[in-house]
Amino acid sequence: MSATRIRPKERDAIIQSLKSGVTPKVGIQHIQVGRINEIKALYQDIERIVDGGAGFRLIIGEYGSGKTFFLSVIRSIALEKKLVTLNADLSPDRRLHASGGQARNLYSELMKNLSTRNKPDGNALQSVVERFVTEAIKEADNSDLTVPHVIHKKLAALSEMVGGYDFAKVIEAFWQGHEQGNENIMSNAIRWLRGEYTTKTDARNDLGVRTIISDASFYDSLKLMSLFVRQAGYAGLLVSLDEMVNLYKLGNTQARIANYEQILRILNDCLQGSAEHIGFLLGGTPEFLFDPRKGLYSYEALQSRLAENSFAQRAGVIDYSSPSLHLASLTPEELYILLRNLRHVYASGNPDNYLVTDEVITAFLSHCSHSIGDAYFRTPRNTIKAFLDMLAVLEQNPSIFWTQLINKLAIEEDRPSNMDEIVDANGADDDSLADFRV
């Protein structure tokens, strides 16, 4: 294990996030294990986006299987390849298609979480716009053109798309605010780009444009943004949407089908070459995909496009080029490495501060295997949380021996424990453990 020290802020963010069952926003490189083939497949998608193509993937896995973490890993790779990333979770008030503001809400959330390599934690929209404007000013200074002319020249391709003309006007308004030192105009321009205007009247009064980003323009606005970030000097756009199961949960059949039709439109654009420099990652559960009544498979056009490779199925292998990518379970060896990584993070990267030995990790996994079964490989979230909880108790109570905690769990779960064999092998004091033996 590397002896590289981990900053306290980063260490605490990782531990607190994992203990609460959510993916940390920083430090994922310290704990990433496995998923090599899946990462290779998505890396090829990123390369295709950089080269002017498009990508579409459904990332399918059970609750707690690591979908969100995997999506975070892919976003970090995309940032290193100079892509701009957008990410958001779907919810009852955020979805792909709607008429009551829910699609605009999703767009606004995506824009709030817009990230670049220099600003990986989100809120990078204004810096992207400033970068574009700065480049336009430089180009104008090196030519006989005015800045507005350069802006419209660089954004000429956008004007051919839905909402593109007003998009260019808003960027010009941002430049005017930048030149005048008028923070209000700049703020209004960013508000418009984030989809935060709810009426066309307000947008016309503040920025002189006739349209706003609405439910109806959700996908078109994302395509505009993908072209804009290219003009700002980035390689493309990667859109990551998690918790797609919320579409599956929609009670209204018509609303659910409308959202599936939006997915079909995105899928067709990406696979047919109509979209450029943009990729979509959609994270969902197996029922979201496979359920014949309410899942994507209930929509025939999507089922035919997303059906698994029958030859790969018969051969017992995985087709990593399929639009739907099913996350393989972590192997016992990978889970062991993961817990070792967590031990390293918990000790702030200092091996001298490890609270448990490798033998303890092996014993802990053995306990999980007996108490949870194979599910602890498929859904590592609970295993990770339990391991961190054990480390917390050991850190706060140095007098407690680790076998006491695991054997106590075995008693509460009314399951056999094999700790006696491990304790004997490690020479523990039998008397001190007598009260905790099964």
The string of pLDDT tens digits covering residues 189-243 is 999 999 999 999 999 999 999 999 999 999 999 999 999 999 999 999 999 999 9
39, 142: one domain? yes
Spatial distance between the Cα atoms of 44 and 77, rounded to a whole number of angstroms: 11
Q: Which of 286, 303, 326 is at the close of a domain?
A: 326
Q: Which of 259, 292, 326 is at the close of a domain?
A: 326
Does residue 417 or residue 65 have the better pLDDT?
A: 65
96, 170: one domain? yes
Q: Confidence class of residue 434 from pLDDT cuts 50, 70 and 90?
A: very low
- C-alpha pair distances (Å), 336 with each of 184, 379, 400: 54, 14, 23
pTM of the model: 0.81
* pLDDT of res. 1: 46
Does any domain span residue 9? no
Q: Cβ contacts of residue 418 below 8 Å, gap of 6+?
A: 363, 366, 367, 370
Strand partners, 104: none
Does any domain span residue 12? no
* pLDDT of res. 199: 94
178, 46: one domain? yes
425, 322: one domain? no
* Residue 49 · residue 279 · CB < 8 Å: yes
Structural domain total, the chain? 2
- Structure tokens, 358: 């490798």
Does any domain span residue 8? no
309, 226: one domain? yes
Q: Confidence class of residue 422 from pLDDT cuts 50, 70 and 90?
A: very low
Range of the domain at 90: 20-326
Spatial distance between the Cα atoms of 377 and 360, rounded to a whole number of angstroms: 18
Spatial distance between the Cα atoms of 211 and 7, rounded to a whole number of angstroms: 47
